[in-house]
Amino acid sequence: MSVRDELTTYEENTWCPGCGNFGIFTAFKSAVKELEKFGVKRSHVLITAGIGCHGKIFDYLNLSGFYSLHGRAVATAQGMKLGNPDLYVIAFVGDGDAMGEGLEHLLFAAKRNADITVIMHNNGVYGLTTGQFTPVSPRGFKGPSTPFGSVEEPLNPIKLMLDAGATFVARGYSAKIKELTNIFVEAILHKGFSFIDVLQPCVSFNDTYELYNKNTYFVDSVAKSKEEAIEISNIGDKFPLGIFYKEIKPVHHELLLEGKNLFRESPSKDVRLQKIRELLKI
C-alpha cells in the first residue's frame, strides 16, 4: 500500500498489508497539513524514531529529522528541542521501544515537561522480531518468548505518564484516522510534554482489529484532574479514546535556557571554521 503525496518519500513501504502503522502514517500527514493552518511551517516540524516497525515511518515521511536508536528517540527529541526551541519536535516510538528499553527517558521527559510530542505505536508486541511480548502485552499473551503465556501484568501507559507529570495525555486508534489527526494536531500545538498512546493492530503477530472495533469509545470531555483521568484509563475491558488530560506548566527548555536559542545564537559557519583552523593551527 502506498499513498503518494508531497509528504511521502520514494522509499519502498515494507509494512504488512493492513498494518495499523498505515493509519498513523496517514493521520500524521493530515495533521502536518492541518498544522499549517495554525502557522506551523512544515520546515519547523522535526521528527525522530526508535527502532522497530514503527520506526520505518521515519523513512516514509518527507520531513527533516534524525534517526535514533532503540529506546532512545525521546532523548534525541529532547536534544533537538534544546538545540532549537523554535522547532516542533515529534518522537515516534513503539510500545516495547518506549515502555521497555526507553522507559527511563520517557519518564524523565514527562517529569521535566519537555516541550516535545511522543507518539507511541502500541501494538502490544515486538513485531519486527516476530512477536515477543512487550511491557504492555496482556497477561497470558503467547509468543515466541512466552509460548505458555506471559505471567506478567501489563503496564498502563496512560497512568504511567500521568504519574510521571505529562501535561498532555491522550489515546487514539489507528483505524479512527480523522479523530487521530485531531489528537495529533492538539498534541503538537500543546506547549509541554504530550504523549499519545495509539492502539495499532499488528496483523501478523497481534491482530486486535476486532477487539478494538468492538471495545473502543471516545470520552466526552477532558478530565478535570489527573485522578479522574487515571480512573478513566482503568475501565475494565473497554478502551477509552480521546484526550484524557492536559494542563499548562512551565516547560523544560525555557527554565533551562532562560530564553536563549542556541541555534540562532551560534556563531556563523565561517566563524566556526576559523576557530577550528586556529585550534589546529592550519
Residue 89 DSSP class? E
Instruction: Give domain status of residue 88, yes or no.
Output: yes
Give the mean pLDDT of the chain.
94
Measured over all CA atoms, what is the biggest interatomic distance in the chain, rounded to whole angstroms?
70
> What pLDDT score does 1 carry?
45
Q: Is residue 67 part of a domain?
A: yes
Tens-place pLDDT, residues 162-213: 999 999 999 999 999 999 999 999 999 999 999 999 999 999 999 999 999 9
Which runs of E-coded beta strand occur in 123-210? 168-173, 194-199
Q: How far apart are CA 121 and CA 227, in angstroms?
A: 25
CA 145 to chain centre: 26
Q: Which helix (H) or strand (E) holds 151?
A: none
Q: Classify residue 32: in a domain, yes or no.
A: yes
Percent of the chain with pLDDT over 70: 99
Nearest to 53 by CA among 132, 107, 126: 126
227-249, pLDDT tens digit by residue? 999 988 877 789 999 999 999 99
Supply the range of the domain harboring residue 256. Answer: 20-280
CA distance 28 to 185: 9
For residues 213 and 110, what is the distance between their CA atoms, to the nearest angstrom? 30
In a domain? residue 2: no
119: which 3 cell numbers?
A: 507518539
Looking at the domain assignment, is residue 10 inside a domain?
no
Domain CATH number, residue 32: 3.40.50.970
Q: What are the tens digits of pLDDT across the range 111-132?
A: 999 999 999 999 999 999 999 9
Q: Say if strands 117-122 and 194-199 run parallel, antiparallel, or are unpaired.
A: parallel
Q: How confident is residue 3, by pLDDT bands cut at 50, 70 and 90? A: low
Cell 508531497 belongs to residue = 6
Count up the domains in the chain and report the number: 1
Phi, psi angles (nearest 5°) of residue 90:
-125, 130
> Is position 5 within any domain?
no
Contacts of 86 (CB under 8 A, 6+ apart): 44, 261, 263, 264
pLDDT recorded at residue 89: 98
Is residue 27 within 8 Å of 79, Cβ to Cβ?
no
Residue 237's pLDDT is 82
Three-class DSSP category at 155:
coil
pLDDT digits (tens, 9 = 90+) for 214-226: 999 999 999 999 9
Measuring CA to CA, which residue among 166, 179, 58 is closest to residue 118? 166
CA neighbor of 172 nearest in space, from 204, 136, 197: 197
The three cell numbers of residue 169 are 495525555
* Residue 3, domain member (yes or no): no
4 part of a folded domain = no
* HEC letters along 207-252: CCHHHHHHHEEECCCCCCCHHHHHHHHCCCCCEEEEEEEECCCCCH
